[in-house]
Every structure is written in structure tokens, then in C-alpha cells.
Amino acid sequence: MAAASRVFAFRDARWAPDPVLEPSAAVRTPQPVPLVIDNGSFQTRAGWASADPAVPAEPLLRFRSLAARSRGARGGAGAETQVGNDLGSPEPLRWLLRSPFDRNVPVQLELQELLLDHVFQRLGVASQGCVDHPIVLTEAVCNPLYSRQMMSELLFECYQVPKVSYGVDSLYSFYHNKRQKWPCSGLVISSGYQCTHILPVLEGRLDAKNCKRINLGGCQAAVYLQRLLQLKYPGHFAAITLSRMEEILHEHSYIAEDYIEELQKWRSPEYYENNMHKMQLPFSNKLLGSTLTSEEKQERRQQQLRRLQELNARRREEKLQLDQERLDRLLYVQELLEDGQMDQFHKALVELNMDSAEELQSYINKLSLSVEQTKQKILQAEVNIEVDVVDSKPETPDLDPLGSEQSLEDVESINEFEPLFAEEQPEVEKPVAAVQPVFNLAEYHQLFLGTERIRAPEIVFQPSLIGEDQAGIAETMQYVLERYPKEQQAILVQNVFLTGGNTMYPGLKARVQKELLEMRPFQSSFQVHVLT
């Protein structure tokens, strides 16, 4: 139960801009050292391929393969382009972000040029408009010839590089982590950000005609997890961003060895409490009125009463002015009757929607009484220090025949303030208890991760979960193996190698072993390895 009480906060880490590195002399003498660029659809990495101990063997540059170009500042400045870690955080610029990749094939060469400019500039290799280092560039397996042609044109004509070598990143990983004597055979499962590949290798060479690709990877898992949590927590729709979903996938998700059996486990309340992860969204801990003392509450109440008193006095003055104008009009019509101007008198009665002089006299009496009452209340409010009490009954008769603009809604709106103008009774001082919130605000801003931890990464084995009409890793792996005779199948399964970003999921190796156990003949052997 200790794990159930743990709450994980989103790091929301900002990317630090990449510094401009000064290349050491070892990368130039006695001859330029090759520059290795891992051109991945999720992350671009660059470093030097040198045996000199003075040159770091690890990549010197790591950044997301993203670029954003603004539309220019208001002052007339040109468009500003930001690449990789210079973006700081991707979410504010999510709608401006562009990637040169379609799946894992570079198709937007102008964006690819921005990424290469960033690499060469930050590594300090650009000299007099050219790059004099050989380039080793990774690409997708069976990369289209047109894409390689455009990339070669970019490197040779734009950067004037002397040599270019292309290679498949998953095969580089397989050769580096080889478990058998060279030349070795094996089945490479490369699951990355955009795609998953099944690559058979026989005697050290890739059998390209039997390679298969699944158009699913970490990107689709992040989008699927985002939709799941947005449907589960519609109140936090905007806070459930793709960056946070990627963080959940990297740190809180795992692949179930048996998906159906794992879902049955999650139905148990005890298992749910022990394995559920709570993700804390940022929130403000300030509640209005929750920390006010009794004196502050009393002062706030007095301010509200003063504002309402001023509003009521202003409405009374407006009402008095309006009633006085109506009374003057009715008195003018009455003078027409006294002066004997009967034609004009009857015409005025029709305009007022009245039938006789008696009805006119009745309205004059009511309006006179209303005007006198309003004047008295105004005088009383000016003298009286206490809060005035608004009469709950309508103060004016129904004067709709006169074209009255004072409707019943206006009277009711004034009556709504009546409880606030009531005379205050002396209250006995009571101990003020601590104000408890209606609900736990921090818990309201928490995302409870249950089966979502396994549902998102499961799509690489069951693409039908997101409506994709594709085969998963297990079906594709079986399809590839069945294209070989049984002797070669036995050789391939002796070295099943897992590589790519999705190998970070806990449980992936056990899941592949389970799938192989189900598809392989009885008492046959196989071995599964993960990159180191």
C-alpha cells in the first residue's frame, strides 16, 4: 500500500539550448574525422567517430527532430526559426512544430536542412561554407531511392561534404550488440517513434525482400494515451498534453506479458490500489474565502452592503425622475380637459390607452402617491446611518398603458437585494472553525493511471485497439519466419534482438518470449536479447 500513497508530479522539463562546441584538434588531424548523425524521427544525435581517447565516444548533441518558424515580430523583423532544444518547451509552439519525417522517411528537405544546419553549427564544423568531414548518416530500412537522392543532393551541393555513408540504425545496433561469432544471423525487431520493423539477418546480411514494417510506434501510443485520459478527465482537457503523455509512457508504462490476464488483475480493487499511479497536474492552492478571518469577512460584507446601498439609492433617484415625468404628462392631459380642448384630450387618452377621465384621475393619484413615497425614502436614506430596507412590495402601480419602461423584472431585481439590506441583529461571538474545502483540490488535479499504463503500449501488439487494420509484432514476426525453411527459422530465433526506443518498456522481452513460445514447435529453443 506504500506505492498507492505515492503521487508522481510531472517534471515538465524545459529543454536547455545546445551550446556551441569547439571541436578539438584530434577531429581534424591528421585527417578529418567522420561525423556520425543518427537522423531519427524522434531524436537527432550527432558525434565523432574517432578512436582517439580525447574525442568522446558518446553523442555530443541530442535534440528533438523538430523545428518551428514564427511569422515575424510586430516590429518588422523577419521570421525566426528555432530548432530542437532551442524551442525550450514544445507545448506553447505545438501548432507551429514541423518535422521533416513522414513516418520515418525524410520528405521535407527544407526542414532537414534546418536540422543539419543546427548540427554543424553547434558542433563547430562549418568552415567557409562547407563541411570537410565525411558524414555517416542513418536512414530507415529500404529507404526510397528518391529520399536518398534528395538527401545526397542536399549534402553534396549545399554542404559540399567529401563523402557520405548511409546505414540502417537498427542494423548498426545489431552489429554492435552481436551475441554470436561474426557473421551472425538473427531476427531484429526495431520499434521506434513512428514505425516498427522486423528485419531478418542471415550470415551478417540483411534479407531486404522479407523485411516488414508496422506503421505504429511511440507517437501513436502517446496520441492514444492522450485520448484515453482526455475522455476520462474532460475537466483537464488542455492540461493533458502530448509532452506529458510521452513522460507517462517513458516512466510509468509497461507491456503486459498476457494482456487479457493483466486486465483481469486490474479488476481487483486491491491490485488497483497497489499498482495505480497518480500523476499530479499543476494547480493553484489559493481558495477564495478559505483563509479569511472573521474581521476580514465582516469588512467585505460591509463593502458589499455599501455598494448595494449606493446602487439602490441611484435606482430610486432614476425611478423618481421617471415617475415625475409621467406625472407631468398626465397633468398636462388633465389641463386639456379643464381648458375644454376635448379633441386634443380624447386624442391624448387614446395615446395613453385610457378610456375615460376617471381612469386618468386614478393614475394621477397613484403616481402622486408613488412620487411622495419615493421622496420620503430618499430623505430617510440620507439621514439614516443604518442600511436601508427595500420594500418587498412593488412601489408603483401597473402603468403599462402609459408605455412604462419600469418593468416587473426591474422591481424583482431590486427585491433580490432585500436580504442584504436587512437590519443586522447582534450576533454572539462564536469560535470560527477552520474552513474546510468542499473537495481535495490536489486530488481533483490528479490523473489516476490504471489500465492506461498497459493499454497505450499494447498497440504495437494489437493495432486494432486504435482501429488500425494492421498486424501486430507477433503476427508479423510469425509471417516473416514462415517465409523461411524450418532450418533457417531455428537459426533466426536463436538470436531475436530487440532495439529501438520502445525497448525501454518493462516487460517487452518477456512478452516477445511468450509470443515465440506460442508460435514455435514443442521443445524448440529460442533466445531473445535486448540492446545494451
**Nearest 5 degrees, angle CA 401-CA 404-CA 409?**
115
- pLDDT at residue 399 in the model: 42
Which residues are CB-neighbours of 49 under 8 A, at least 6 positions away?
A: 33, 34, 35, 36, 136
Prediction pTM value: 0.70
- What is the number of other CB atoms lying within 10 angstroms of the CB of residue 372? 10
- pLDDT at residue 27 in the model: 86
401, 411 contact by CB (below 8 A) = no
Question: What is the full per-residue pLDDT of the chain (532 aa) written as tens digits?
Answer: 344 458 899 988 888 998 988 888 888 888 889 999 999 999 999 999 988 888 888 999 999 999 988 765 554 455 678 898 988 888 888 888 899 998 889 999 999 999 999 999 999 886 667 888 999 999 999 999 999 999 999 999 999 999 999 999 999 999 988 776 777 899 999 999 999 999 999 998 999 999 999 999 999 999 999 999 999 999 999 999 999 999 999 999 999 999 999 999 999 999 999 999 999 999 876 654 455 678 888 888 888 888 888 888 888 888 888 888 888 888 888 888 888 888 888 888 888 888 888 888 888 888 888 888 888 888 877 776 454 444 434 444 444 444 444 444 444 444 544 444 444 444 444 444 554 545 678 888 899 999 999 999 999 999 999 999 999 999 999 999 999 999 999 999 999 999 999 999 999 999 999 999 999 998 889 999 998 7
> Which of 148, 159, 99 lies closest to 123, judged by CA?
159
- Is 529 exposed, middle or buried, given 0-12, 13-18 or 19+ CB atoms closer than 10 A? middle
DSSP annotation of 515: H
DSSP annotation of 427: P
| Measured CA distances, 217 to 10, 98, 288 (Å) | 23, 18, 45
- pLDDT at residue 146 in the model: 93
DSSP states along 436-497: PPSS-HHHHTEEEESTHHHHTGGGGT-GGGGT--S--HHHHHHHHHTTS-HHHHHHHHTTEE
- Run of H or E residues at 188: strand 186-191
Query: Could you identify the residue written with the cell 506460442?
Result: 518
Query: Could you identify the residue written with the cell 541530442?
Result: 62
